[in-house]
Structure 1
Amino acid sequence: MSSKSDVFLEEARLGPRSSILIECEEMPNLPRLIRRFKEYVLTDIAHAVMLTETGIISPQRGATLLSGLILMWESEGRGFPYLPNVGSFLVQTEHFLGEHIDKDIAGRLQTGRSRNDQSAEAERLYLRDLLLDVMKHLILLQEATLSQATSHADSLMPGYTHLQHAQPTTFGHHLMRYAAAFDRDLDRLAGAFTHVNLGSLGGVAMAGTSWPIDRIRTAELLGHDGLAINSSDAGGFARDYVEGTVAALSILMANMGRLAKDLYVWSSWEFGYVQVADELAGTSSIMPQKKNPHSLERIKALSGQANGWLATVLGTQNSVFSTDLDLTFADDALSGMGDATIQSLRLASTSIETIEINAHRMADSAGAYWSTTSHLADELVRRYDLSFRSAHHIIGRFVRDSIAAGKTPADVDADDLLQAGQEMAGITLDMSTLELRDALDAHAFLYSRASIGSVNPSETKAHAESLRESLEKHRDSCEGAKIKVDNSLTDLLHCARSIAANNRS
């Protein structure tokens, strides 16, 4: 039989708990448990099914135990009587089951396991669902990015380095920078999923158990792809799968943040290249003309906070000893990280889908400030058999003298280049004014690019097509994983209900 009903887990060994400990340790942990209600109950149901199937507990006790757990599951946590003085889901569950089925049977749920592997399992289930959700929303963002990149493959604009005009590009080519990064993000998230989706149940405290449990069965019931085999690793002491997940989320947030910052700057009046849709903007309480790009600002802010996510988790887990559980005792940071990532993905997808492009403003700016002179230097190399360095010196002097004379690329003439050639290399450059201006034409610059992945619109479209193929593979993999998980959990609940219905005496 179980011990006295009014004795909680610690009281038999330690006596009544300090109100300070309850207020400062147990109660702050309750929000984490509430967020993971579903995951903890699924973990308990799988363990109870396995205990019953292996005969570790009798069919009658297993049926009674599972009937109570199904009652918990069907409640979806609504009205669940959380005990404010207990920050452990194990004790919360045992108390609930003791009140609704039988205290002795409730106490048998912990046979052959510990809070360590129970909590590690629940965390794996939570992170697994989070990763699937993040991948789903990232796929939507990638679809929007590839669509806009293809539509704007020839939308001429300035390319920047050091925030200065560098070389002409297109809005589509710029977006493909991020599409390539998002494709790598999907790879990283898929890799994190592989490490997360392993079964922890059966690791127990750290050394395994003498009970003949079936770890493979519980992993199968919960839709895992395998086991975290080492019992200490499974028990929650090696948390690198958490760090791997947070690293993938942090990098994704950094990529979204960079894109948001580009668009944010370009939405200013001084640039005027893009605008977010009106419904994604806000205005001022005093300045009625304002259109503030709130969706981009939210992504920027969250991505800034995400810079510290990995350091937070790594720092928390850099404990005195490898068997410490500081991540368990710390506040729940993971839930907020997941929420921020999903919010940013939703905002980014909608912002990209609905963004307004001022193609004329972009194109007018593209060749306005000498961004095609590298092409002119290449032309000198081709025509006059110069080294590129010599051509670079000539064009550098040509640009300096033209700016000093108040000229732009649109109104320079052959004499300007001729003078620079004689000053810097003692060479006569007989390029005509028409040829010079053609070499400095920003639109022609795009189509002069011949290398893979260049700003040539055909290369942008080819790259977009290759990433669409990659996206379909990611979509198939993600949907396949989600179907497997859903089917496994459906089977788990069906099995639990069958045991509860068929074996209750």
Structure 2
Amino acid sequence: MMPPTSSAPHSAGSAGALLTDARLGKKPAPRLRRYYLEPGLRKELPKLHQILAVDLAHVVMLAERGIIPATQAARLVDALRDLRADPEARLRIEPERGSMVLQIEAHLTNAVGESDAGALSTGRSRIDQGATVRRLYERNGTLAVLDRLVALQDALLALAARHSRTLMPGYTHLQPSQPWVFGHYLLGFANKIHRAFVRMLEAYHHLNLSPLGTVGGSGSPWPLDRRRTAALLGFAGLVENARLGRDIQYLADIAAAACLIMNEINDLATDLQLWSSNEFALVELDAGYCGTSSIFPQKKNPIALEGIRTAAAQSMHWFSNVLALCRGMGSGDLAMRSPGHVDAVFETTADMTDLMTGIIETLIVHPSRMGARAQLGWTTASSLADLLVHQGTLSYRQAHHAVGAFVRHCVENDVAVTDATAGLFASVTGLDMALTDAEFRSALDPATFIAACTSQGGAAPEQVDALLRAAAADREADRSWLDTEQHRLASCNAELDRAAEILAAARPAGSHHHPDLAHE
């Protein structure tokens, strides 16, 4: 929702003429206002805090460099801080004026006069101002995603630790493959989420560069201190070449990283939805993350998982949309209108990651059923083939054929894996393994199979414990970086407030800015 709008005629005494008056001599057409200006303002409105931060940092720099007088800067700082205190209530939007920077200029004109308000445009354009605002807003969105990724790692590690010894059936092609350990499975996703953090962090480094001061693409004749405004706004560096101030290719990095995050949580959601079905019943969602049916009273529908999968499907266009926009830009200014779907990238990715965190934190696991299912489906047949190879008479492929024929015989004759014997194996395959029936069954035991999976990264207990420690270290490194960065940004914001306060103190005693006519 936009703040109140006005259709009153404009004059020099009422925030001055429209920007378009001098060159175009005509107000925006109603259709342009409805279909272009008003939607653009609605997209800018959530970025109002960032817009005002950029304005404040720019004024501070202009004053510190002696580009505008300190007293003029003080009046601007007062007016900007007053607006910043409650912008949605105090800023009157007049769509025919154009973008939000012009709305604020009109507000400042009413507050401190046209001369002071116009000084804010010294050494900048809407190109670099808008690009800076977008990067600040997108930085917040990226940090929110990174924070949610760390929280999901926390949840996955906690559940993995509780189930570091829980046997379950593994599946390929939805058919039983080998025994798995549920904690080992979860650690795989913890690793993926850590990699997603690293990938998004790399995109963050490309994002967190200041374009302010690149102006129209060739820089400025004014002695701007771009590093000062970058520091006040928390940027880690500059967009060095002024030609790249309006560049949005960094959004492709963010969109790609976000798409991959959505892909990871989609895979986890797909597995959990399948395994929570009545046919598998290995896990169960907490009732708080389920819905029910208007007709089937028995239903406990995993709607949270379905929501994640739906959002993941819709996320697949994010990357291609950014690339399409970049391709269409050439040397023009399509980026002046930020791609509308980008805000959804941050919101959807953060929200769905948070939703998955809640699902994992409350997931109901059925270890006994998992263990029982791990005994079925001949999941340790490869272990039997390995044993034949170890006896030194067959290659693995020969052993694979022999065990495959034995499994087919047992399935066709309704012989359960727990009833199979060494004698039966010898009679079917013609191979005498010289094992007792107890030794033969031990070779087919899932726990024995897992205990033997001691290769690095395997599912044996000592390997799972090592993976837990490594994943916990990754999580701690991610959290440490995030905490440090958030502290750094808070310090930058405090420095901006301090610098603005110093400027405000330069206002002569008893001097006040004009009444805010936008309140009348």
1:456 is matched with which residue: 446, 457, 460?
460
What's the CA shift string for 1:363-388, capped at 9, x where partnerless?
11112001111111000000133111
- Asked if the contact 2:101–2:126 (Cα under 8 Å) also holds between the matched residues in 1, the reply is yes
Tell whether 2:282 aligns with 1:278: no
The letter for the 2-side match of 1:372 is T
Alpha-carbon shift at residue 447 of structure 1 (Å): 0.5
- Asked if the contact 2:380–2:445 (Cα under 8 Å) also holds between the matched residues in 1, the reply is yes
Tell whether 2:109 aligns with 1:98: yes
Tell whether 2:371 aligns with 1:360: no
1:145 is matched with which residue: 156, 161, 168?
156
Match of 1:497 in 2: 501
What's the CA shift string for 1:451-503, capped at 9, x where partnerless?
11111132122111111112111111111111111111111022112212323
Tell whether 2:394 aligns with 1:386: yes
Match of 1:217 in 2: 228
- Alpha-carbon separation, structure 2, partners of 1:239 and 1:54: 29
1:171 is matched with which residue: 174, 177, 182?
182
Q: How does 1:94-493 map to 2 (within 5 A)?
A: 94-234=105-245, 236=246, 238-319=247-328, 321=330, 323-329=331-337, 332-422=340-430, 427-493=431-497
- Asked if the contact 2:380–2:449 (Cα under 8 Å) also holds between the matched residues in 1, the reply is yes
Match of 1:75 in 2: 86
Alpha-carbon shift at residue 129 of structure 1 (Å): 1.3
Alpha-carbon shift at residue 94 of structure 1 (Å): 0.5
After TM superposition, the structure 1 stretch with the greater mean CA deviation from structure 2, 288-297 or 34-43, is 288-297
- Asked if the contact 2:79–2:108 (Cα under 8 Å) also holds between the matched residues in 1, the reply is yes
- Asked if the contact 1:22–1:86 (Cα under 8 Å) also holds between the matched residues in 2, the reply is no
Q: 1:232 to 1:262 in 2, by over 3 A?
A: same
Match of 1:14 in 2: 24
After TM superposition, the structure 1 stretch with the greater mean CA deviation from structure 2, 277-286 or 169-178, is 277-286
Aligned with 1:386: secondary structure? Answer: coil
- Alpha-carbon separation, structure 1, partners of 2:257 and 2:83: 33
Alpha-carbon shift at residue 76 of structure 1 (Å): 4.3
- Asked if the contact 1:98–1:106 (Cα under 8 Å) also holds between the matched residues in 2, the reply is yes
Alpha-carbon shift at residue 331 of structure 1 (Å): 5.1
- Asked if the contact 2:16–2:109 (Cα under 8 Å) also holds between the matched residues in 1, the reply is no
- Alpha-carbon separation, structure 2, partners of 1:457 and 1:447: 7
After TM superposition, the structure 1 stretch with the greater mean CA deviation from structure 2, 412-421 or 265-274, is 412-421
- Alpha-carbon separation, structure 2, partners of 1:287 and 1:84: 51
- Alpha-carbon separation, structure 2, partners of 1:85 and 1:420: 87
The letter for the 2-side match of 1:105 is D
- Asked if the contact 1:29–1:332 (Cα under 8 Å) also holds between the matched residues in 2, the reply is no
Structure 1 gaps of 5+ residues are none
Q: How does 1:14-33 map to 2 (within 5 A)?
A: 14-16=24-26, 17-33=28-44
Q: TM-score, normalised by structure 2?
A: 0.92
Aligned with 1:384: secondary structure? Answer: coil
The letter for the 2-side match of 1:225 is A
Aligned with 2:332: secondary structure? Answer: coil
What's the CA shift string for 1:322-344, capped at 9, x where partnerless?
x2233443652122221111211
- Alpha-carbon separation, structure 2, partners of 1:292 and 1:80: 46
What's the CA shift string for 1:233-283, capped at 9, x where partnerless?
12x1x2122111121111111111111111111111111111111112111
Q: TM-score, normalised by structure 1?
A: 0.95
After TM superposition, the structure 1 stretch with the greater mean CA deviation from structure 2, 436-445 or 329-338, is 329-338
- Alpha-carbon separation, structure 1, partners of 2:285 and 2:94: 47
The letter for the 2-side match of 1:337 is V
Q: 1:298 to 1:327 in 2, by over 3 A?
A: farther
Alpha-carbon shift at residue 6 of structure 1 (Å): 4.6
- Alpha-carbon separation, structure 1, partners of 2:89 and 2:450: 60
- Asked if the contact 2:19–2:97 (Cα under 8 Å) also holds between the matched residues in 1, the reply is no
Alpha-carbon shift at residue 416 of structure 1 (Å): 2.8
After TM superposition, the structure 1 stretch with the greater mean CA deviation from structure 2, 179-188 or 5-14, is 5-14
Give the count of matched residue pairs: 497
Aligned with 1:486: secondary structure? Answer: helix
- Alpha-carbon separation, structure 2, partners of 1:136 and 1:317: 28
- Alpha-carbon separation, structure 2, partners of 1:79 and 1:402: 79
Provide runs of 4+ in structure 1 moved above 4 Å.
Answer: 2-6
Match of 2:77 in 1: 66
Q: 1:369 to 1:257 in 2, by over 3 A?
A: same
- Asked if the contact 2:16–2:106 (Cα under 8 Å) also holds between the matched residues in 1, the reply is no
The letter for the 2-side match of 1:400 is R
Structure 2 gaps of 5+ residues are 1-10, 512-520
- Asked if the contact 2:76–2:117 (Cα under 8 Å) also holds between the matched residues in 1, the reply is yes
- Asked if the contact 2:71–2:506 (Cα under 8 Å) also holds between the matched residues in 1, the reply is no
Alpha-carbon shift at residue 79 of structure 1 (Å): 4.6
- Asked if the contact 1:156–1:366 (Cα under 8 Å) also holds between the matched residues in 2, the reply is yes
Q: 1:492 to 1:143 in 2, by over 3 A?
A: same
Alpha-carbon shift at residue 85 of structure 1 (Å): 2.9
- Asked if the contact 1:150–1:460 (Cα under 8 Å) also holds between the matched residues in 2, the reply is no
Aligned with 1:60: secondary structure? Answer: helix
- Asked if the contact 2:124–2:213 (Cα under 8 Å) also holds between the matched residues in 1, the reply is yes
What's the CA shift string for 1:43-67, capped at 9, x where partnerless?
1110011011111111111111111
Q: 1:85 to 1:163 in 2, by over 3 A?
A: farther
What's the CA shift string for 1:410-460, capped at 9, x where partnerless?
1112233113433xxxx4433332222111111211101121111113212
Q: 1:125 to 1:271 in 2, by over 3 A?
A: same
The letter for the 2-side match of 1:358 is H
After TM superposition, the structure 1 stretch with the greater mean CA deviation from structure 2, 328-337 or 409-418, is 328-337
Aligned with 1:318: secondary structure? Answer: helix
Q: 1:99 to 1:276 in 2, by over 3 A?
A: same
- Alpha-carbon separation, structure 1, partners of 2:157 and 2:89: 42
